[in-house]
Structures are given as structure tokens and as C-alpha cells.
């Protein structure tokens, strides 16, 4: 099976009867989703997206990617949160580990996910003398971090190419009708792609938001959509005893109710690090509200076994460990015998590097379960576009069901506005004068 879920190593931390109990609620959550009822039902466009996405737009995405690849040394993808993480996750997971350092590739760099003057200056230095295009992505069209980066890069393009040519090198992915970016794109005549109204940022990776940067990096986006389509059918069944996506949602909720407050997503392939970052936004923004929710965190093993391993083994018992495991690595090789064996590693001779990696996983998993940490396992047969699409859909649907089980609206993110208000007040944005007065009680350094 391409993506599979196994919770057998959490059964000593819960009773099977608890799953039977929750299956009724899973059924309710399933019906709510599929009948488009319940909180956040305006944002369910992702649910059947893999079977109804706009093929013409997808074709346009591929053509634009081709043009970018022919015309530019690098694409600068400007966006943050859901307008950034999915594309980065896919490109890092599915491309060469040193993609941007390889010859003959169209480099993909990200900007607008921070407000660091050092980062953006270094990026501009790196791009000096190179031909570039820009894909600016923002659903609202008003998020400040990417808006600042876009202002800087637009200016850079106009200075380097002149206004006319700059326009042809800017691709905007935004709302169909509203927002400052949409307005600018229309005025300037940028080629534009749509983020559907009913798909929230963190659910948008399989729209043009993710697909244009991915296609530019040479990924097969048709395969990705086919994988997501298969997942749509596979996880369409309300029966908890067979639907592994729903089992993941249910088990993490049961464990959460029993005092597990943090879910650690673990990988043994460094290229999955940004899948974890994408997953953190998906679950964190969806579930962390009304003073509820599992805190999504991530570690990269075995690297972090040498830093966080101690805590996982013996620290506070509030963790769930969810391992995202790749069954068959893209590349494997056999460790050779060394006639001198000074490092004492000849016992590994004849084994493959991946066999050793898998033993590290098994050893850590057994130790952590023995140490009191329930283990969930999500296995991915291979890291390719098809399975990536399937995995995205698995997580999206599990997150929606999980949020319903938790009793929150999994599709809004009201809490993100609080820091924005303070920041705008501190920056003196017109309209935020009252908020500025309310900041009086804090001592502000810096």
C-alpha cells in the first residue's frame, strides 16, 4: 500500500474499546464534511479538489513553468505560511538534496517568509547577474511579510529589465477577485493563477500555490494530482476499522484526551524536514484554538536523537511520536568491508545504508515505546510525486476529521491576527492608533 498507517505501537497506551467508542463521532465528522455542514463549511473546497481541479489552469501552470525554465536561471517564490510551505516541502522532498547547487537546474529560492534584511540582501547578492522570474503568492493579497519582499523584488526586476519586461517575469497567485495583489496583477497585466475562495492557505498546496513552483523545479504535477485523486477515493469511507486516515485522526485524539499534549512528527529522511513544517502549520492552525489542541512539533532523526533523544526517552511524558517513514529510499548503497577495520564497523559490511537507517528507526521506536511514548507510524512506499499527493490528502483529511473530533473549527485561524494588530500599531499603520494606546502596559525592548 502506498501510504499506510499503523498504530499497533500505541495500543499499550489506550484500549481498543476507546476506538470503538470514537468511531461513532468519526462517522458524524465524516458526514459533516461530506455534506458540507458544520463550522468552516465554506472552506471545504480542498475535499474534492483532486477530482474537480481546473485542468485548464493546470495546463497554464505547466506552460508558465516551462517559460520560466527557458527564460530564467532562478524563480523567486514569494509567500508565507500556506502560500510557501507546501511548495517548499514538495521541492525539498522530491528533488535532489542539493537541487539549487546543481548545474542546469532552474533554481527555486523563497522569500517573504521572514522580514530579515540580511536574508533578502544575501538573496539579492546571490542573484546578481542572473535572469530571474517571480511567483508572488498570497491568498489575501495583504500579508505584510510577502508584500515587503515583493516590493523589493519588483523594484529589482524593473531596474534590471525595465517595466515592460519585468511584467512578463512576474506571476501572481492570488484570489480570483479581491485583495491588493489581485488589483496590482490586473493593473500590471501579470499572468495570474487562482487560489479558490473555498480553499484556505494551509489546504492550498495542490492548487497553483504549490503547483507552479513545483513544476518549475521539474516535478511531475500530474502524477501528484493522480496520487491525491487516489487518496480521495481511498479515504472516502466512513468506516473507522478500514479508513487509515480516520484512524490516525482518532488515535491522536484519544491519546490527546489521555494527557498527550505534543505530537512529534519524526522523519529519517532529511528531505522530509519541510513536509514536517507544512504539517505543523496544517495541524497547528487548524487545531490550536479555544485553548485546545495537540501542539505539533517535529524532529529529524537520527540527527536529533543526539540532541532531543534524551528528552524523548526520559523527559515529561506528554509526547506522541508519529514517524513518517519512507519504505524504499530513492537511492541505497552497500557498506563495504575495510581490511583494517580500525573503526570496528566491519559488522556492517554487506548491509545497505538504508538497512542501518531502518534499524536506527526500529531501535529508537522500541526504546521510546518502552520509555512511555506511544508510537504512530505513517509509511510512504516511495518518495515520489504520486505518493506525495496521496500523503498531502491523507494529512488534510485527517486534520479536518481530527479538528471536528476535538470540537474546533479546523478551517479558521482567528488567533493569527493578534500579533498583526500589535505590529501594525507599533509600525504606525493608519487605522491602528487605538491599538497603539492599548499597548501601554508592556515594556518594549529593541
Per CB under 6 A, the list member of 72, 95, 143, 298 interacting with ligand F6P is: 143
Q: x/- contact string, 318-357, with ligand F6P (CB under 6 A)? A: ----------------------------------------
Residue in 178, 420, 429, 436 annotated catalytic: 420
What CA–CA distance (Å, rounded) separates 124 from 134?
A: 13
Number of Cβ within 10 Å of residue 44's Cβ equals 22
Least distance CB 391 / ligand F6P (angstroms): 19
Active site residue 417: no
- From residue 8, alpha-carbon distances to 231, 234, 283, 376, 377 in Å are 22, 21, 23, 8, 9
Check binding of 207 to ligand F6P (CB under 6 A).
Answer: no
What CA–CA distance (Å, rounded) separates 187 from 349?
A: 64
Check binding of 201 to ligand F6P (CB under 6 A).
Answer: yes
What distance, in Å, lies between the first and last C-alpha atoms of the chain? 53
Per CB under 6 A, the list member of 82, 284, 296, 410 interacting with ligand F6P is: 82
Residues 83 to 102: which contact ligand F6P by CB under 6 A?
83
Check binding of 113 to ligand F6P (CB under 6 A).
Answer: no
Least distance CB 203 / ligand F6P (angstroms): 9
Number of Cβ within 10 Å of residue 306's Cβ equals 9
- From residue 189, alpha-carbon distances to 72, 126, 161 in Å are 19, 28, 16
Binding segment toward ligand F6P, per CB under 6 A, in 34-42, 78-86, 251-259, 345-353:
78-86
Check binding of 138 to ligand F6P (CB under 6 A).
Answer: yes
Active site residue 139: no
Question: In this structure, what DSSP letter does residue 8 have?
Answer: G
Residues 414 to 433: which contact ligand F6P by CB under 6 A?
416
Residue in 285, 287, 321, 385 annotated catalytic: 285
- DSSP notation for 270-313: GGGHHHHHHHHHHHHHHH--TT--PEEEEEETTGGGGTTHHHHH
Q: x/- contact string, 279-308, with ligand F6P (CB under 6 A)? A: ------x-----------------------
What CA–CA distance (Å, rounded) separates 272 from 281?
A: 15
Q: What are the residues binding ligand F6P (CB under 6 A)?
A: 80-83, 138-140, 143, 146, 201-202, 285, 413, 416
Catalytic residues: 285, 420
Amino acid at each position: 500500500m502506498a501510504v499506510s498507517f499503523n498504530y499497533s505501537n500505541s495500543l499499550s497506551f489506550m484500549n481498543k474499546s476507546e476506538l470503538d467508542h470514537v468511531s461513532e463521532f468519526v462517522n458524524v465528522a465524516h458526514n459533516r464534511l461530506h455534506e458540507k455542514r458544520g463550522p468552516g463549511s465554506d472552506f471545504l473546497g480542498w475535499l474534492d479538489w483532486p477530482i474537480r481541479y481546473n485542468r485548464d489552469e493546470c495546463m497554464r501552470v505547466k506552460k508558465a513553468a516551462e517559460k520560466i525554465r527557458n527564460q530564467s536561471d532562478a524563480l523567486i517564490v514569494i509567500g508565507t505560511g500556506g502560500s510557501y510551505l507546501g511548495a517548499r516541502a514538495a521541492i525539498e522532498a522530491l528533488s535532489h538534496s542539493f537541487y539549487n547547487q546543481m548545474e542546469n537546474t532552474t533554481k527555486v529560492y523563497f522569500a517573504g517568509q521572514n522580514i530579515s534584511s540580511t536574508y533578502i540582501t544575501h538573496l539579492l547578492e546571490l542573484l546578481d547577474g542572473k535572469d530571474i522570474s517571480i511567483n508572488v503568492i498570497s491568498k489575501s493579497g495583504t500579508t505584510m511579510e510577502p508584500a515587503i519582499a515583493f516590493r523589493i523584488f519588483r523594484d529589482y526586476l524593473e531596474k534590471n529589465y525595465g517595466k515592460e519586461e519585468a511584467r512578463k517575469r512576474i506571476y501572481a497567485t492570488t484570489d480570483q477577485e479581491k485583495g491588493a495583489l489581485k488589483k496590482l496583477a490586473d493593473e500590471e497585466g501579470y499572468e495570474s493563477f487562482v487560489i479558490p475562495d473555498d480553499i484556505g492557505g494551509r489546504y492550498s498546496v495542490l492548487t497553483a500555490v504549490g503547483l507552479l513552483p513545483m513544476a518549475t523545479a521539474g516535478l511531475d504535477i500530474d502524477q501528484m494530482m493522480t496520487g491525491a485523486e487516489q487518496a480521495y477515493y481511498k479515504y472516502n469511507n466512513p468506516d473507522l476499522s478500514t479508513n487509515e486516515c480516520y484512524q490516525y485522526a482518532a488515535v491522536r485524539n484519544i491519546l490527546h484526551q489521555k494527557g498527550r499534549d505534543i505530537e512529534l512528527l519524526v522523519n529519517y529522511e532529511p528531505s522530509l524536514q519541510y513536509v514536517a513544517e507544512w504539517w505543523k502549520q496544517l495541524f497547528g492552525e487548524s487545531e490550536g484554538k479555544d485553548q485546545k489542541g495537540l501542539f505539533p512539533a517535529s524532529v529529524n532523526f537520527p540527527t536529533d536523537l543526539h540532541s532531543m533523544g534524551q528528552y524523548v526517552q526520559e523527559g515529561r511524558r506528554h509526547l506522541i511520536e508519529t514517524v513518517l517513514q519512507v519504505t524504499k529510499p530513492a537511492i541505497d548503497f552497500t557498506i563495504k568491508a575495510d581490511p583494517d577495520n580500525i573503526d570496528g564497523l566491519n559488522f556492517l559490511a554487506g548491509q545497505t545504508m538504508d538497512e542501518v537507517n531502518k534499524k536506527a528507526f526500529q531501535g529508537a521506536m522500541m526504546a521510546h515505546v518502552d520509555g512511555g511514548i506511544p508510537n504512530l507510524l505513517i509509511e510512504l512506499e516511495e518518495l515520489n510525486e504520486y505518493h506525495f499527493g496521496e500523503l498531502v490528502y491523507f494529512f488534510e483529511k485527517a486534520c479536518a476529521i481530527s479538528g471536528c473530533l476535538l470540537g474546533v473549527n479546523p478551517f479558521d485561524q482567528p488567533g493569527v491576527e493578534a500579533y498583526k494588530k500589535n505590529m501594525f500599531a507599533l509600525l504606525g499603520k493608519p487605522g491602528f492608533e487605538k491599538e497603539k494606546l492599548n499597548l501601554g502596559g508592556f515594556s518594549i525592548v529593541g
